[in-house]
Amino acid sequence: MSATVLIAGAGTSGLALALSLLRNGLSVRIVEKQLHFHPGERGAGLQSRTLELYKFLGILPDILERSVSGITLRNIQYLSAPDNGKPPRIVRAPLDSKNTPARPLTETHFLGQNRHEQLLRELILAEYGVRVELGTELQSFEQHPDHVVARLVKIVDSNPVEETVSVNWLVGADGARSVVRKQLGLSFLGETPDTEAVTGDIHVIGETLNQDQGDGLLVWIRPDDTPAGFMRPCLVPGKNLFQFIILGNKDLDLVKISSSREEMIKAFYEITGRRDIEFGELVWMGLWKPNIRMVDSFGNGRVFVVGDAAHVHSPTGGQGMNSGVQDSFNLAWKLALVEKGSAPESLLKSYSDERTPVIASMLNMTTELFRKELAPKPGQRKDFVRGPELLQLGINYRGSLLVLDEKYTDKDELVDPYRSGDDGTVRAGDRAPDAPSLTHLSPNESANTISLFDVFTTVRHTVLIFPGTAGEGFVTEVVEALREYPSNLLKSILVLPRSSSSSTSTSSFAQSALTLIDTEGYGYVNYMVAADTPTVFIVRPDGYIGALVTSGRQGVRSYFSSIFL
């Protein structure tokens, strides 16, 4: 089977990358060394930024149909282990964001990683006929100036069968023990905290837990005020399924506990004292030990890493799976442009340059949460702390050499890659805000209102032209500049202020692919555009602002000179 891109690993990062590349017209092959797909929930929280990216990819309705709102998991109940003696406490996770016109998807959703991956596999197979190849392991690879030769071993009828394939690009989404990362020689520095646990998914018979927690999280606390165990509802329709964690201490034999369903249940009863809970079928179980590590580079030449192959960390905060998916969105549009011959290979360097500071900041944050919540010193445990940065809407690439900002020009300003995009300004490198209630200028267009998020897509740049009261001259020179670039890779949108009407002269406006009136003013307000200052925002295929331009033609050309050949 020939393909342009070989993806080793079929977790969420690899599948999101595959779907993004396929949307961009590239051919993809996905191999997975395991013989069976993992049955467990694992990373279940879908943060706001991931939901937005899935909307641009065109699959958000499918995700929302199978997931549940995070509001059902805000209650956290702290219970006494048998020898604790403290009364139970119920607290609410402090993060309580509300949707706004600029941020329409602020509610975290939950979808078990196994069901998340199944949905992505189904979409890839149904739309493109590409099937994940189970039992197929990447053994080694060799890089050449214009291709990569990979050696695969596939299990066929219990026998190994070797295959050598030539592809243009290789991406390792092959987890923490990544063959791709190791053979590239990338460092994977960090730490392994002295914490171990048994985790898995198990069915519960009856409604005992549901009555206790109201679909929230149960945490059992030891006498020294450290966590002993967790139970979280998986919220699978029609199933009373829970994810459990038993945290180790010097008195627990975790290997024995993880050896069988019976040993796990016995240990759970002893730790929690909750013998009233009746368990059903065990779905999966395993030992878990946290690692906090990341690569020094996200790729080299024609080979890259995404997700756990590039960074591993504590599950606290629900950032890991989301960060891996966002690795893939950052890489996909750049790789697609280079492969199509529309961009120089140097564009791919920005993948590592942009993602490295974001992941480093994320590791620091999740490690701090881990030490407060899961591995505190005795008597120093903190309740679950959930700040707005966990929604990942403040992630930004302001420090990237790839972005252009003609409004905010302070190059020495300190940039927090996880929070600066949440500072009350809208700058190049930030997440592009939404703007609803936009209406078509042309009477021949649909009368329904649309939002910018309905227009953003992962297959092209979107150029937002805010002429304000400047008249047609500014628009004309911007539109003329845009004609110099591939029309299939750009979509220009003229956003007229709400004072505009269908009687407005459209001689140059008609040259724009789409002309919209900002009837409620959300576009100009959310992008912080003054009516007397004509401005252009160029939104990248990954939903980040690549350029904030006030100079018109010159700024447009300057930005795209670093993107297109």
Chain segment 87-98, per-residue pLDDT in tens: 666 666 656 678
- Mean pLDDT throughout 516-528? 95
Which comes out higher in pLDDT, residue 154 or 317? Answer: 154
Q: Are residues 37 and 135 in the same domain?
A: yes
Question: What pLDDT does residue 503 have?
Answer: 42
The predicted-structure confidence for 411-470, as pLDDT tens digits, reads as follows: 777 889 998 888 999 999 999 999 999 998 765 566 689 999 999 999 999 999 999 776
Scanning the structure block, which residue is given the tokens 């403290």?
A: 86
**Residue 505 pLDDT greater than 50, yes or no:** no
**Residue 482 pLDDT greater than 70, yes or no:** yes
Q: Is 396 among the domain residues? A: no
Q: Is 352 helix (H, G, I), strand (E, B) or coil?
A: helix
Contacts of 204 (CB under 8 A, 6+ apart): 240, 241, 242, 277, 278, 279, 280
Boundary of a domain, candidates 242, 270, 289: 289
Name the domain count of the chain: 3
Q: Are residues 132 and 254 in the same domain?
A: no
The predicted-structure confidence for 374-421, as pLDDT tens digits, reads as follows: 666 666 666 666 678 888 999 999 989 999 999 998 877 788 999 888
**Alpha carbon 42 to its chain's center:** 15
Identify the domain containing residue 556 by its residue range. 404-560
High-pLDDT (> 70) share of the chain, %: 87
Q: Are residues 488 and 420 in the same domain?
A: yes
Q: Is 397 among the domain residues? A: no
Question: What pLDDT does residue 176 have?
Answer: 92
Q: Are residues 212 and 277 in the same domain?
A: yes
Q: Is 496 helix (H, G, I), strand (E, B) or coil?
A: strand
Q: 192: pLDDT confidence band, cut at 50, 70 and 90?
A: confident
Average pLDDT over the chain, rounded to an integer: 88
- Alpha-helical runs (H) found in 28-186: 48-57, 60-66, 113-128, 179-184
High-pLDDT (> 90) share of the chain, %: 63
Q: 513: pLDDT confidence band, cut at 50, 70 and 90?
A: low
Residue 37 C-beta-side C-alpha neighbours within 13 Å: 18
**Residue 212 pLDDT greater than 60, yes or no:** no
- Mean pLDDT throughout 245-273? 89
Q: Is 349 helix (H, G, I), strand (E, B) or coil?
A: helix
Boundary of a domain, candidates 391, 412, 435: 391
